[in-house]
Amino acid sequence: MHITQHTDYALRVLIYLAANQDRLVTIQEIAERFQVSRSHMMKVVNQLIRHGYLSGTRGKGGGVRLAAPPAQIGIGQVVRHMEHDLALVECFGSASQCLLTGNCRLRGVLGNALNAFLASLDQVTLADLLTPAEQGILFFPAR
């Protein structure tokens, strides 16, 4: 299983904000911290806002923060929301062109593997990704 860079950045943003819950964080700060363009980070953050993981305030003095406590944000759900296509192979899609589709057991095996991967992520919350020492402290110091 491979997650996209977009999902990777989304998870990093959530971790960063979970470690900085005491304040609003700007998209610019996040982009600089992870050395990503501001426009790319804006896309990631906007998608997290649309799915209800973040709340944002526009304008001077604005920024983003978690919309729920870290213990209420499930990593499996985040991955499902951020990934556009979880199909491991072509035959997972409705437009499969594979000649083996009717006689192949690989689809079931890979489907089970994907379900196990997501089930494993479903056992983890954002809070689980922070050590007790990191909870409530600035774990990526501002520049």
Residue 89's Cβ-count burial label (10 Å; 0-12, 13-18, 19+) is middle
Task: Output the pTM of the full model.
Answer: 0.83
- pLDDT value at residue 105: 79
- pLDDT value at residue 107: 76
Specify if 53 maps to a domain. yes
39 lies in which domain range?
5-129
> What is the CB neighbour count within 10 angstroms for residue 80?
15
pLDDT digits (tens, 9 = 90+) for 87-117: 766 666 666 666 666 677 777 788 898 899 9
Which CATH number covers residue 112? 1.10.10.10
Residue 65's Cβ-count burial label (10 Å; 0-12, 13-18, 19+) is middle
- What is the distance between the alpha carbons of residues 75 and 21, in angstroms, rounded to a whole number? 18
Specify if 141 maps to a domain. no
On whether the CB atoms of residues 125 and 69 are closer than 8 A, the answer is: no
In Å, what is the CA distance from 66 to each residue of 11, 114, 127? 12, 28, 12
Specify if 84 maps to a domain. yes
Specify if 135 maps to a domain. no
Specify if 138 maps to a domain. no
If one counts the domains in the chain, the total is 1
Specify if 23 maps to a domain. yes
Which portions of the chain are predicted below pLDDT 50? 137-139, 141-143
Specify if 66 maps to a domain. yes
Token pair, residue 110, equals 């890979």
